[in-house]
């Protein structure tokens, strides 16, 4: 019988919990996969070349790229050096930036959130603004970290959904209100990427891969946060889960 629940990889970050390194993924992403996408989350460690990429891709029915406090290393997109104290995760970069095009080209459903969205842009040759307000064109997109999490992750600003795009189709709206938990954002849009949503200050907030044979969506905001309480977030995760289920069924019968 075909699998009832698709196996969905979830990108991990490499963190030191003294004195040892650990590979960790946020519970909110794992829960969203299980509760809203109907999948079985499988944490993909940030081991870079130590992972046999082809073997991993053959076993996945979908991939979720998570948010993280760390930033993509700027040399990955020929950017200037980061400000002192910026948290990086080169092991995650080594893993995801190689995995992204392999997953897309294989037709495996891909959903990227926040840092994952920025990774996706870089993987396709795009670049990032490291400090949005410093551009003089974009406003502040990060919350007040002294506020409770419910406030930080609460509705922040509207985004306009592109006519004929996937997000407008999934949500049934031309505008939705999203949360905003990021300092960096898309500067130069990567090759093969098509804009799906734009903030009022002109920042690109979502995209898809134009020529992808499967579901491929990246968003700058955090739809995983209390996903079952937001209709637009549920619609996105449900569509991702359905795409993963369909892929699993095709893989099973191949």
CA 188 vs. chain centroid, Å, equals 17
pLDDT at 2 over 80: no
- Inter-helix orientation angle 90-105/115-123, to 10°: 70
pLDDT above 70 (res 172): yes
Using the predicted structure, report yes or no on whether residue 4 has a pLDDT greater than 90. no
Q: Is 172 helix (H, G, I), strand (E, B) or coil?
A: coil
Segment 66-121, tens digit of pLDDT: 999 999 999 999 999 999 999 999 999 999 999 999 999 999 999 999 999 999 99
Q: Which of 21, 109, 130 is nearest to 65 (CA)?
A: 109
Which residues are paired to 239 by β-bridges?
Answer: none
Number of H helices, E strands in the chain: 7, 13
From CA 205, how far away is CA 41, in angstroms rounded? 25
**Which residues contact residue 139 at a Cβ distance below 8 angstroms, ignoring those fewer than 6 apart?**
132, 133, 201
Per-residue pLDDT at 7 exceeds 70: yes
Question: Which are the catalytic amino acids?
Answer: 114, 222, 224
């Amino acid at each position: 019988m075909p699998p009832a629940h698709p196996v969905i990889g979830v990108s991990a970050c490499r963190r030191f919990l003294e004195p040892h390194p650990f590979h960790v993924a946020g519970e909110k992403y794992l829960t969203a996969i299980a509760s809203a996408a109907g999948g079985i989350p499988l944490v993909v460690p940030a081991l870079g070349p130590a992972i046999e990429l082809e073997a991993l891709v053959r076993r996945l029915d979908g991939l979720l790229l998570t948010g993280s406090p760390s930033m993509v290393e700027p040399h990955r997109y020929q950017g200037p050096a980061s400000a002192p104290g910026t948290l990086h995760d080169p092991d995650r970069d080594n893993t995801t930036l190689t995995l992204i095009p392999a997953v897309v080209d294989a037709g495996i459903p891909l959903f990227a959130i926040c840092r994952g969205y920025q990774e996706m842009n870089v993987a396709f040759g795009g670049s990032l603004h490291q400090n949005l307000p410093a551009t003089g064109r974009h406003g502040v997109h990060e919350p007040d970290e002294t506020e409770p999490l419910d406030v930080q992750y609460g509705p922040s600003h509207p985004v306009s959904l592109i006519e004929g795009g996937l997000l407008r189709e999934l949500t049934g709206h031309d505008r939705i209100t999203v949360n905003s938990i990021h300092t960096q954002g898309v500067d130069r849009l990567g090759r093969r990427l098509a804009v799906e949503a734009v903030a009022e200050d002109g920042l690109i907030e979502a995209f898809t891969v134009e020529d992808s044979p499967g579901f491929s969506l990246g968003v700058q905001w955090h739809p995983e946060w209390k996903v079952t309480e937001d209709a637009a977030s549920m619609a996105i995760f449900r569509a991702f889960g359905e795409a993963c289920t369909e892929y699993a069924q095709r893989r099973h019968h191949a």
